[in-house]
Amino acid sequence: MNPQYFGDGHDLFKYDLILTIMSQVKPQLKSFMFIPMLTEYRPLKKDAIAGMKNKKLGKCFNKFYGGKGAAKYFKEIKQYFESEDIKTNIFPDLVFSQKSRSEYFEKIFSDIPKKSLIFLDPDTGLQADEKAEKQHLKFSELQEMFERIDDDSILMVYQHFYRDRKTIPNFPAHMESLVEKHIKERPLCISDNSIMFLFLTKNENLRKNLEMVLNQYKEQYPKSFKK
């Protein structure tokens, strides 16, 4: 997750979808675990957009969007979900990087809740292990995470569309196939043709329930989910 984009339109889709799932898949799901994979704040390049020369104003904005702003952002997200009576754990309070990968996931694996929606939010999404950088989740990490969750949980992963996606006629189906190839399990997917979320669960009844929720969600926003 890149703090530069806190509060954008993708966030609105993401958190509303999570709220919908948690609200409609009760009592099967008892809690929501958010794994932001937060990378360091990377401000836009100097003069990249109009107004960037105003350093004083930029410094003001950085109070929220910079490193310290992340703590406030996650606090507000946690408070929002808990105000909807959803037990929420945002984990961990640690910047994600190539150097910290092992430590990061070791902490996650040591405390995975049961009967939960567990959301992994890399900057960009999934990538082959040998090509993965700090903005990616490795397929091997997804596989280990899936193996460790209990039978009554759902694993949710953020995936951004590739910039060169025009070479792939159906990008969501392409990603579903890649996940199935690595995890040996076909994920459910919801996509607005800009970003997508992939879902894995070991529980067939839970999968059917989730699939119904996703289909109903898409019906609420036909313009966003038109093919």
Dist. CA 87–CA 95, nearest whole Å: 23
pLDDT at position 208: 96
Task: Please say whether the beta carbons of 32 and 79 come within 8 A.
Answer: no
Q: What pLDDT does 45 receive?
A: 55
pTM assigned to the model? 0.88
Tell me the two tokens of residue 25. 């898949």
At residue 165, the pLDDT reads 61
- Predicted local distance difference test score (pLDDT) of residue 163: 72
What whole-number distance in Å separates Cα of residue 80 and Cα of residue 85? Answer: 9
Could you tell me the fold of the domain covering 3-220? Rossmann fold (3.40.50)
Q: Cα(218)–Cα(69) distance, rounded to whole angstroms? A: 32
Is residue 118 a contact partner of residue 155, using CB atoms and an 8 Å limit?
yes
**Averaged pLDDT in 10-residue chunks for the chain of 227 residues:** 80 92 91 92 57 63 60 86 94 83 92 96 95 95 97 97 76 95 96 94 96 95 83
Spatial CB neighbours of 193, under 8 Å, sequence gap ≥ 6:
161
pLDDT at 8: 78
User: DSSP characters for 52-116?
Assistant: TT-HHHHHHHHHHHSHHHHHHHHHHHHHHHHHTT-EEEE---S---TTTHHHHHHHHHTTPPSSE
Q: Which residues pair with 137 in a beta bridge?
A: 126
Q: What is the rounded CA–CA span in Å between residue 49 and residue 214?
A: 37
Place of tokens 């996509």: 191
Which residues are CB-contacts of 194 (< 8 A; sequence separation ≥ 6)? 10, 160, 161
